[in-house]
Amino acid sequence: MSSPRILRSSISRRGMLQGTALAGAGLATTRLPFGRGASAATNLSVLSPLAPDPAPPGVAEFSEEAFAAWLTENDAAVNYEAVAWPQLHDKMATNFASGSYVHDVIYMSGWVPEFSEFLTPIGDLISPELKADLPDSSFSTVTWDGGVYGVVFTLSLLTLYYNTEHLQNAGISAPPATWDELKGYAKELTKDGQYGWVLNYGAPEGIGGTASYWMTFLQQAGGKMYGKDGLPVFNDAPGVDALQLMIDLMPYTDPSSISNVGIVDATNVLKAGTASMMMNWPFMWNEAQNEETSLIVGKLGSAILPAGPAGSASIDGTDAWTITRNSPNPELAMKLIEFYLSKDVQKRQVLDTGWLPIRLSALQDSEVQTAASNAAVVLDQATHPYESFVTPDYNAVTQTLGTEVQKALQGEKTAAEALKDASDAVTEIVNKRLNG
């Protein structure tokens, strides 16, 4: 048995400090040759959402071989930082505020006007071949102050998704085409622990937040957010009607909706078969067909959103790739973006993840049209208005507006009261930006 005295004398504080220093020095010196010799690849850093939100190859499982081949051809290494969608805005805000280089390529959704000062204009970097294959309208949400700062990579509009079995059992032969039908069907379908409608009202701000859903109904009612002077004009009859529709649907809305923060939470309720209808992004189609996680495989229908007094309307997800101003490799970053938007990757994007391509040639591909039968619905939806009203203060505006909408949905305020308060608060926010 070892003497405790011998053990004690072999472990001393000085010895530990010396050992740690030697180990650290050894680690540092041994890493250098590997760092230089093993890889001369140019590193690109990408900030992306986590799947099932729209994510690129390397984060979502598609086009793995093509991606590996691209990395080899371009002598590049890509480090992904993939975060949950609700955390994206604050993460990039913190990174930009630090002033340091963190990422080369960043995903954006409605934040281009807000962060345009930190992004590289890439209008001239987009190849003519790619530009010709993209809808002109796709550049509207990534253009600010005359500069094009990004490329949208998925045709992402909100459309209606519904449980065909629920409607059939209730004797309803077609999805709702008008607001009155939406309310009536939602009421009829609410029974025995099942609800007619579900959504995520838990997060007021951003695209896919409470405010943006109200903006969808606002356009269906014939209203708009801002006048020509940039000040809010939504506190009018269409605005109130839009909010009143949401309030009228509340008795038939799954109760968890008010605390569902992300669309995935609401999607899970529809997939569990406990709600009948929702508006959702195109990825819903693939999600519902996943036998491991969905109880409604083969029972999902898709249609354009019900028409209000001014017809159907939607909002644009504005999912885009951008390049940061302090990226040391803007040309390589642009090549990576063009890879994400290449025809084959765009095709695999829809076939493997459900997120529709933005390239017109990919949308017209027969295999895509067969596999993603909701693509035709989204294209039909795109023939109606789908303004997202993005401005540099989009987050502050939607936070304020969305909070008032939440109060109305909870019965704390009437639709008129909530919109008046929202309009006053948004006017102050916009005036602060316009007047400095």
Under the rule (CB under 8 A), what is the footprint of other proteins? 86, 89-90, 93-94, 96-97, 99, 114-115, 117-118, 201-205, 254-256, 258-259, 261, 269, 272, 274, 325-326, 393, 395-396, 399, 403-404, 406-407, 409-410, 412
Q: How far is the CB of 49 from other proteins (least distance, A)?
A: 17
Q: How far is the CB of 109 from other proteins (least distance, A)?
A: 14
Q: How far is the CB of 387 from other proteins (least distance, A)?
A: 22
Nearer to other proteins, 179 or 394 (CB): 394
Nearer to other proteins, 120 or 312 (CB): 120
135: its two tokens: 């809808």
Best CA proximity match to 254, nearest among 244, 267, 245, 240: 267
Residues 246 and 255: their CA atoms lie apart, in Å, by 13
| DSSP letters spanning 80-110 | EEEE-GGGHHHHHHHHHHHTS---SEEEEES
Q: How far is the CB of 289 from other proteins (least distance, A)?
A: 22
Nearer to other proteins, 64 or 412 (CB): 412
Nearer to other proteins, 235 or 268 (CB): 268
| DSSP letters spanning 171-225 | T--S---BHHHHHHHHHHH-BTTBEEE----S--SSTTSHHHHHHHHHHHTT--S
Nearer to other proteins, 257 or 388 (CB): 257
Residues 48 and 50: their CA atoms lie apart, in Å, by 7
Give residues with Cβ within 8 angstroms of 397, minimum separation 6: 211, 391, 426, 429, 430
Q: Are 380 and 362 in contact (CB under 8 A)?
A: no
Q: How far is the CB of 6 from other proteins (least distance, A)?
A: 32
- Give the pairing type, strands 275-280 and 195-197: parallel
Best CA proximity match to 434, nearest among 291, 228, 286: 228
Q: How far is the CB of 118 from other proteins (least distance, A)?
A: 5
Nearer to other proteins, 344 or 412 (CB): 412
Nearer to other proteins, 165 or 265 (CB): 265
Residue 97 backbone phi and psi in degrees, to 5: -65, -30
Q: How far is the CB of 260 from other proteins (least distance, A)?
A: 9
CA angle 301, 176, 290 (to 5 degrees): 20
